[in-house]
Amino acid sequence: MFTDRKHRRGLTAWLVPMLLGVSAVSVAADDAVSSMPDSWFEIPKTASEVGITSFSQSPMLDDAGLPPVNERLPDDPPVIEPLNNIGVFGGRAQITLGDSWQFFNWESALTISADLRNFLPNLAESWEVSPDGRITTIKLRSGLKWSDGHPLTSDDFIFTFNHIWLDTDINPVTSMLVIGGRIEKVDNLTFRYVFENPNPMFENLIAQYGSFMVDPKHFFVKYHPSFADREFVDAKVDEIGVPTWMALLDALRSAIIDEGLDMPTLRSYKIVQRTPTMVRFDRNPYYHKVDPQGQQLPYIDGIDAEDILDNAEVVTAKASTGQLDFAAFTLRTQDIPLLKLGERNGEIKVHIWRRLHSSDVAIQPNYNYADAKYRALLWDVRFRKALSLAINRPEMNEIIYFSRGVPRQVTVHPTSSYFEPHYATAHTEFDPDQARALFAEIGLKDIDGDGLVEYPDGSPLTITLEFLDFETPKGITMELVASYWREVGLDLRLKLVDRALQSARAQAGEMQMTLWHADRVTDILFPLVPDWWAPRSTGWDRGMWNDWARYYQTDGELGENPPEIIRQMQQWTDDMRYETDINKRIAIGKKLLQANADNLWTIGTIGLAPHPVVVSKRLRNVLPKGIWGWDNRWTLAYHPSTWYFDED
Amino acid sequence: MSDVTINPAPAIAADLGTDTLQEISPRQLAWIRFKRHRLAMVSAGFLIAMYLIATFCEFISPYNTDTRNVKAINAPPMSIHFFDREGTFHLRPFVYGYHMEVNPDTWMREYSENTEEMYPIYFFETGESYEMWSLFKAKTHLFTTREGYIHVFGTDQLGRDMFTRVFYGARISMSIGVVGVMLTLFFGVLIGGIAGYMGGIVDRGVQRIIEVLLSLPTLPFWMALSAALPVEWSSLMVYFGITIILSLFGWPGLARQVRGKFLALREEDFVMAARLLGAGRLRVIFKHMMPSFTSHIITTATLAVPGMILGETALSFLGIGLRPPVVSWGVLMQQAQNYQVIVMTPWLMIPGLFVVLTVIAFNLLGDGLRDAADPYNTGGNRD
């Protein structure tokens, strides 16, 4: 299966009409759609195809005592076309650690096309999914090397699959993503994932999440008890002071212990130093990509990533005053005027990308909450519709998003093959009178005259929504939602929680309501993990239906038997997952999305919102208008290794 | 001071307009001394005004706390005019409406006065309906406009009137100070009194408890306790919860002082006399011993109020105290705790100004009260 090229202009096709449609204001700012190189939508050409015969390296590596550059590169390296210019080597980038996943991406066997629908080979030279969807065969490029010069082979992938993903100490419950799977070695560069059931979208997982499917075996065998001497591992565990050898592997991986600094990587940069406040990266001399002139990527020699714990205020302050070369992850839509103010001093450039999040806030009622009366109320679709109708989305859009977002429910992204416009607009109109009427119909009425409704039996009705205010403007959005709901008589209380508490309470299903932003909405992730639309697994970001999810996961051993409609949706997610025919798969996915439009399992507010991406005046080749989010790993399709510094 | 002897009698007599010194009670003496402390007087005036505003904030504010003006998001404070653009004088003050434009390049909401829209200010005017003290509905506001809007302190990021929110916030923040101090006083005097009066094993036990409490670092402990407040609690319950948490650390200090006083007074002749006359324990404490150090307690209490206010502000600022939709100064300042506010919307920090003024006023007032209550104070400088 190779790339389907008919979709490659998909992005432009939806972006233009959407921007024109949003409002007159946004047209002025967003008129120009960036033109990305065609090659970003195609299988990257290799050096021999382009006709490159000699390669060059950064002057930084000239006297490093390394083998010559053409020996470090793979036999026939892939050529990546920069956005605007061929870059020059040099410089150290100042960023924050929070942006390190965006400034240089992880490397997987496959990668994502800039159209957000298709996959392209990366470490792989080619790949193939068998017609029945059970076998995914991957053939690696020959001559790829880890950052220590050790060759990358099938064994590295096999090690990770068998000894990390399937290890019962590390993962006591086998992940849904790899369940029923095994890995087979064909030769040193070829291997295949074989599944009991059809798993045609395993390639989606490899492209989006595949960096977690390959580890340097030659490094980890020193610490993994399946290979290493158990006594040595135990001694090491004691020495480091971690509870188990699994924790030791984590510590190595995150380089919080010195031994982890030596862990080889495939990424464009490797860690050289870690202090409590700073992580320093240098270029990976064995990185496998080159530019059209045969220069080994990346262009920038090193990165100093400051660890400021994602403190949004500090990042905003630093970004707006030009102290960072790249900042985006922690920045917020409402910071844009401030950042633009900084732009006027000429130190930075503020690019406005669009978040792919279907909605910046997906309000999740907990259908499995302990209180039966509350549960019954949530289960009434009229109640959920009333909640949605009570939200004044145009006003919210004006207040928070400068009218440049799109009022939306939680559904898939417009680039998706599964998208129908009415999924996004279902019950998004502002109609407080109808919301009140629906409340009355359910029997909720204001008995004690305080302007807030009570349960039909007269007992007080208050809903507490606990949430983590991070990434998208969740706090301010919910303050507005609370006041809209109050206007129709519903008493909503907000409680901010921290990450640990959010995780614990979401997994335990103890929250009456919670929220997160609705990503995983493109063709890359929606059909693979449609968690917003059916109870399939529990997670720290959702707390809607844990008991039903557990029932599904354990085949009825734990949890609670879900109602018929929920079982139907779980069935659809299975069908979608096993379906090898793309058109049938889309048809099933649409049923699931239609069910959500009818039932509003979660309630959305504003989506596809502007996201600020700040780059320093010296940083070049950054896409001015991209799509921002987890599905495409933020910048993965836009090739950050081609960014460079123009010091003039 | 030892080598300068000042006789306060003539000055005081002059103040009273009389030359018979016998008529002056200790209370009058203290009042006279207090009046001399100018800063304390000003502070007292300010605090009385603030408490009146806090009490009647529904009436004084032109809007309700969650009324949004979508035409004015993050709008700057308005200036009140008497002269219009032609220079004509208007007896009735007025404000100009905002002219707002979102600059397409900077994404900034740029506000200017729209001299086309003149909104005269009317006093005791009917406006938004509110529920006074949650008891009765009313519509009369001290001032408002008949059409348009008035935002004397500007608006916040949701277009809510800051003037309104600052004074609603005053109600919560300033009352938490007083209620908290009441609780502190109650516990402090009761426990300190018992320890001091009974002595012995009771005293020693109480002393150890106080030592433990005083050795705990306050802020982390406050944080832990307020994080433990159940999520489902209503705003009112959280309010009382926070008050109790704040006073939990206030009472030990006061209890110690009370105990010390009791230990000293216990041996005094008048206490002995009362006891010999058959007065009960409580009667001795409240009738005979307490009055001799009430002034001290009042001073301590006054100086403790700003601590409470700052405590509430700190907790809410950290997001673990009161939370929206309750409006307190801490909650307001939490919304202002970002870099953007300092650069672009500094008027959101007005609540901070009120916290500072109130805390200073309480400290000065406490200072004045202490000087006034000190029987050795001769009215001159204390140094």
Domains located in chain B, CATH noted: 70-159 (no CATH), 166-373 (1.10.3720.10)
The predicted-structure confidence for B57-81, as pLDDT tens digits, reads as follows: 999 999 988 888 888 889 999 989 9
Q: Between B173 and A126, whose confidence is greater?
A: A126
CB contact under 8 A, B66 and A483: yes
C-alpha torsion angle, residues A84, A85, A88, A93 (rounded to 10): -10
**pLDDT confidence of residue B376:** 60
CB contact under 8 A, A494 and B324: yes
Give percent above pLDDT 90 in chain B.
Answer: 17
**pLDDT confidence of residue A29:** 34
Of the candidate ranges A562-576, A599-613, B264-278, the one whose mean pLDDT is the lowest = B264-278
pLDDT of A173 above 90: no
DSSP conformational letter for B284? I
The predicted-structure confidence for B10-62, as pLDDT tens digits, reads as follows: 555 555 555 555 667 777 777 888 888 889 899 999 999 999 999 999 999 99
DSSP conformational letter for A213? G
Q: Which pairs count as long-range contacts for A500-507, CB under 8 Å and 24+ apart, including other chains?
A: A501/A466, A502/A466, A502/A467, A502/A468, A502/A540, A503/A540, A505/A466, A505/A543, A506/A538, A506/A539, A506/A540, A506/A541, A506/A542, A506/A543, A507/A538, A507/A539, A507/A540, A507/A543, A507/A546
Q: Between A73 and A18, whose confidence is greater?
A: A73
Residue A452 CA to residue A80 CA, distance in Å, equals 60
A337 touches chain B (CB under 8 A): yes
Boundaries of every domain in chain A: 34-96+267-356+609-648, 362-607
pLDDT of B2 above 50: no
Tell me how far CA of residue B302 lies from CA of B2, B241, B351, B374, in angstroms.
30, 22, 21, 15
**pLDDT confidence of residue A40:** 94
CB contact under 8 A, A334 and B105: no
| Nearest-neighbour CA in chain A from B113: distance (Å) | 20
Measured between beta carbons, the chain A residues lying within 8 angstroms of B337 are 313
**pLDDT confidence of residue B21:** 57
CB contact under 8 A, A312 and B338: yes
Residue A452 has a CB neighbour count (10 Å cut-off) of 19
Strands of A513-516's sheet in order across:
A491-496, A462-467, A513-516, A362-365, A603-604
Mean pLDDT of chain B: 82
Q: What is the Cβ-side half-sphere exposure of residue A539, based on CA atoms within 13 angstroms?
A: 15
Measured between beta carbons, the chain B residues lying within 8 angstroms of A466 are 231
Tell me how far CA of residue B380 lies from CA of B17, B27, B32, B36, B97, in angstroms.
20, 18, 13, 10, 53
Mean pLDDT of chain A: 90
Q: Which residues between 491 and 550 in chain A have a beta carbon less than 8 angstroms from any beta carbon of chain B?
A: 493-496
Residue B209 CA to residue A587 CA, distance in Å, equals 70
Residue A326 CA to residue A99 CA, distance in Å, equals 8
A261 touches chain B (CB under 8 A): no
Residue burial A169-195, b: 16+ Cβ < 10 Å; e: rest: eeeeeeeebbeebebeeeeebbbbbbb
Collapsing DSSP states into helix, strand and coil, what is residue A206? helix
Q: How many interchain CB pairs under 8 A, A with B?
A: 79
Per the CB < 8 A criterion, the answer to whether B321 and B304 are in contact is: no
DSSP conformational letter for A165? I
A234 touches chain B (CB under 8 A): no
| Nearest-neighbour CA in chain A from B325: distance (Å) | 8
Q: Select the residue from A402, A490, A494 to test the B interface by mutation, using most B Cβ atoms within 10 A.
A: A402
Tell me the backbone φ, ψ of residue A355, rounded to 5 degrees. -70, 140
CB contact under 8 A, B325 and A317: no
The predicted-structure confidence for A401-444, as pLDDT tens digits, reads as follows: 999 999 999 999 999 999 999 999 999 999 999 999 999 999 99
Give percent above pLDDT 70 in chain A.
Answer: 95
| Nearest-neighbour CA in chain A from B243: distance (Å) | 19
Architecture of the domain spanning A34-96+267-356+609-648: 3-Layer(aba) Sandwich (3.40)
The predicted-structure confidence for A5-57, as pLDDT tens digits, reads as follows: 334 444 444 444 444 434 333 333 333 345 899 999 999 999 999 999 999 99
Give the residue among B353, B317, B311, B316 at the shortest CA–CA distance from B337.
B317
Residue A509 CA to residue A447 CA, distance in Å, equals 30
CB contact under 8 A, B344 and A341: yes
Entry pTM:
0.82
C-alpha torsion angle, residues A436, A440, A445, A446 (rounded to 10): 30
Q: Which of B73, B104, B344 is opposite residue A28, by nearest beta carbon?
A: B104
Containing H/E element for A149? Answer: none
Give percent above pLDDT 70 in chain B.
Answer: 90
A15 touches chain B (CB under 8 A): no
Q: Which of B66, B105, B338 is opposite residue A313, by nearest beta carbon?
A: B338
Measured between beta carbons, the chain B residues lying within 8 angstroms of A493 are 232, 234-235, 323
Measured between beta carbons, the chain B residues lying within 8 angstroms of A462 are 232, 234
Q: What is the mean pLDDT of residues B192-218?
A: 85
CB contact under 8 A, B106 and A483: no
CB contact under 8 A, B323 and A495: yes
Maximum Cα–Cα distance across chain B: 87
pLDDT of A254 above 90: no
Q: What is the CATH number assigned to the segment(s) A362-607?
A: 3.10.105.10
- Tell me the three-class secondary structure of B285-343, residue by residue: HHHHHHHHHHHHHHHHHHHHHHHHHHHHHHHHHCCCCCCCCCCCHHHHHHHCCCHHHHH
B323: phi > 0 → left, psi -120 to 50 → alpha, else beta; which? beta
pLDDT of B342 above 80: yes
**pLDDT confidence of residue B382:** 43
Of the candidate ranges A271-280, B67-76, B312-321, the one whose mean pLDDT is the lowest = B312-321
Residue A296 CA to residue B66 CA, distance in Å, equals 58
Per the CB < 8 A criterion, the answer to whether B63 and B162 are in contact is: no
CB contact under 8 A, A320 and B70: no
Q: Which of B319, B325, B337 is opposite residue A482, by nearest beta carbon?
A: B325
**pLDDT confidence of residue A588:** 96
Measured between beta carbons, the chain A residues lying within 8 angstroms of B231 are 464, 466, 495
- For residue A293 the two structure tokens come to 């002139």
CB contact under 8 A, B344 and A486: no
Q: What is the mean pLDDT of residues B138-164?
A: 90
Per the CB < 8 A criterion, the answer to whether B353 and B19 are in contact is: no
Residue A87 CA to residue B30 CA, distance in Å, equals 81
**pLDDT confidence of residue B280:** 83
Strands A406-407 and A606-607: antiparallel
Tell me which chain B residue has its CA closest to the CA of residue A342.
B106
pLDDT bucket at A611, cuts 50 / 70 / 90: very high
CB contact under 8 A, B106 and A344: yes
The predicted-structure confidence for A320-332, as pLDDT tens digits, reads as follows: 999 999 999 989 8
Residue A362 CA to residue A380 CA, distance in Å, equals 18
pLDDT of A263 above 60: yes
Q: Between A30 and B350, whose confidence is greater?
A: B350
**pLDDT confidence of residue B132:** 84
Q: Between A2 and B195, whose confidence is greater?
A: B195
Of the candidate ranges A328-337, A611-620, B370-379, the one whose mean pLDDT is the lowest = B370-379
Tell me which chain A residue has its CA closest to the CA of residue B71.
A399
**pLDDT confidence of residue B301:** 82
Residue A205 CA to residue A193 CA, distance in Å, equals 12
- ∠ CA A578-A584-A586 to the nearest 5 degrees? 90
**pLDDT confidence of residue A51:** 93
Residue B105 has a CB neighbour count (10 Å cut-off) of 10
Hey, what amino acid is at A252?
L
Residue A403 CA to residue A19 CA, distance in Å, equals 12
